[in-house]
Structure formats: C-alpha cells, structure tokens
C-alpha cells in the first residue's frame, strides 16, 4: 500500500514514515524538503499519484491568528482536490484533544476549521486527536513565565509521548477509515502546575510556580476537562515520570499538534 505522509520530515511525520516502512508499506515523505508545497500545490499531484492513504501531520509555520487559519484552510482545500484527483481512499489527520474547548485561541479555531473541512470532504477519513506531547511541556512552562515566577493553571492535563502518538497514527493508517474521531492520551493526569514543578525540578530550574486558576493557556482559561481525553481513548503507554528520567526532556519544542 502506498502511504503519503504530509509533514513527513518532522517529529511525528518522520516517526510514522519509519514505522510504516518497517511494516512493508511504500511510503513517501511529503514536505518542502521533498519538493511538495501544500500551500501552493507544487509537487502535490505527483506525490499522491497511486496513493491509497494520506497521513496529514503538517503544521502552520506561523501561529498568528490570520496566518494559521489561512494555512489550514488553504492546505486542506489543496489536499482534498489532489486526493480526489488521485483516488485516495483514506485521509488520516492529526489534531488536538480539547480543540472545541479552546476556541479563544486563533490556533485552535483554525484546527476546528481544518477538522470541519475534512469531515465535509468526499474522502473517507479518520481524525486522531492527541493531548499535548511530553516534548512540548518545556514550551508550555516557559509560556507561563512572568520574570522569575510562573503563573500556571492547576487544571488537569494528560500529556502523551510523541512516539506513542506516532504508533497510533501508523496503526490507523494501515486500517480502514473510521469516518470518526479517535483520541490518544498518556496514562496519567496531573494538575498543570504540578507537572510544571516536576519538569523544572528535573532541569534544576529554580523558578517558582504559582497555581492560578485564571492563568491563561495560549489565550484560554482551563478547567479539568479542557486538556484531558474523553471516554474510550487510546492510551499511550509511556509515563511522564519515566520519560523525564530518560533525559528525553532535554529536547525543547514549541507546543502544537505536530511538527512538519
């Protein structure tokens, strides 16, 4: 089976490419590096020729409200048109748990628009919503900084390892389209302020964390449902405490659903 991974050179995309290739699939990593531009459409038709499945883990290069909305809408329309022309049988896209609960954020409004476009498309689809990756915790913590203090919401968060998300994506790509949304999350839920303290302690960072129920998370106030999965989600097996102990947290990334 031929699978095209849009954003295949990034954190999640490269992992999915490797997993599917090991399982015997013909995989094409589509990104600017391989001459595919989903905004202009350049190289897209050639990349999708003969493909049965498209996995979209692309992300906007800008999180500014207008720019991110334009990215997901333009890329989405281009992908739908190219998939129809190529006879693609399954569109699998990565999104974010809590998207509909974070609509004060321009980024999440754009993700909601992307999801709506996918659902309205004639291409059979599966949406995988993931909670925030362990790899983004450092960026989340830094976004809460006010000098030497961090004002962090005590609302629950249920982060997941990027590797575990990639494993679920590869599994879904090899299956039939569900025309539905699946969620994946880590095995543990923590108050976000507690998670910040664990992260800072691991990195010998002495900044003080102050729990603040009104602290904003990329523009939105949180409650205990905002950043956790609902019923029936797939559980990523990696625990945050083990991930921290492994030293993997030294890689500091910008929060978002995927890195293309």
Q: What is the pLDDT of residues 2-32, one digit of tens each?
A: 999 999 999 999 999 999 999 999 999 999 9
Whether the CB-CB separation of 42 and 162 falls below 8 Å is answered with: no
> Residue 260's pLDDT is what?
38
> Residue 257's pLDDT is what?
42
Domain ranges of the chain: 2-250
Please say whether the structural domain 2-250 has been given the CATH code 2.40.100.10: no
Angle subtended by helix axes 162-173 and 11-22, to nearest 10 = 50
Binned average pLDDT, 10 residues per bin, the chain of 260 residues: 96 97 97 96 97 97 93 97 98 96 92 97 98 94 92 97 98 98 98 96 95 92 96 97 84 47
> Residue 258's pLDDT is what?
40
Whether the CB-CB separation of 155 and 191 falls below 8 Å is answered with: yes
> Residue 251's pLDDT is what?
55
DSSP string for residues in 85-116 = HHT--EEEEEEETTGGG-TTSHHHHHHHHHHH
Size of the chain, expressed as the number of residues it contains: 260
* 204: three-class secondary structure by DSSP: coil
């Amino acid at each position: 089976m031929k699978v095209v991974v849009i954003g295949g050179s990034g954190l999640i995309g490269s992992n999915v490419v490797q997993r599917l290739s090991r399982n015997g699939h013909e995989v094409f990593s589509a990104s600017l590096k391989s001459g595919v531009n989903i905004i202009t459409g350049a190289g897209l038709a050639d990349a999708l020729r003969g493909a049965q499945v498209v996995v979209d883990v692309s992300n906007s290069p800008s999180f500014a409200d207008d720019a991110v909305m334009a990215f997901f809408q333009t890329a989405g329309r281009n992908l739908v048109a190219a998939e129809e022309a190529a006879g693609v049988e399954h569109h699998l896209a990565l999104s974010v748990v809590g998207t509909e609960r974070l609509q004060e954020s321009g980024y999440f409004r754009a993700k909601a628009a992307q999801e709506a476009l996918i659902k309205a498309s004639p291409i059979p689809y599966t949406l995988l919503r993931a909670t925030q990756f362990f790899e983004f915790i450092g960026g989340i913590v830094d976004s809460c900084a006010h000098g030497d203090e961090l004002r962090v919401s005590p609302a629950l968060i249920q982060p997941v390892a990027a590797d575990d998300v990639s494993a679920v994506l590869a599994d879904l790509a090899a299956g039939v389209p569900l025309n539905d949304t699946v969620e994946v999350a880590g095995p543990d839920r923590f108050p976000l302020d507690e998670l910040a303290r664990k992260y800072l302690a691991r990195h010998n960072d002495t900044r003080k964390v102050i729990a603040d129920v009104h602290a904003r998370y990329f523009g939105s106030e949180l409650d205990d449902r905002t950043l956790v999965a609902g019923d029936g989600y797939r559980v990523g097996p990696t625990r945050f405490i083990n991930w921290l102990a492994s030293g993997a947290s030294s890689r500091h990334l910008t929060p978002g659903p995927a890195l293309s």
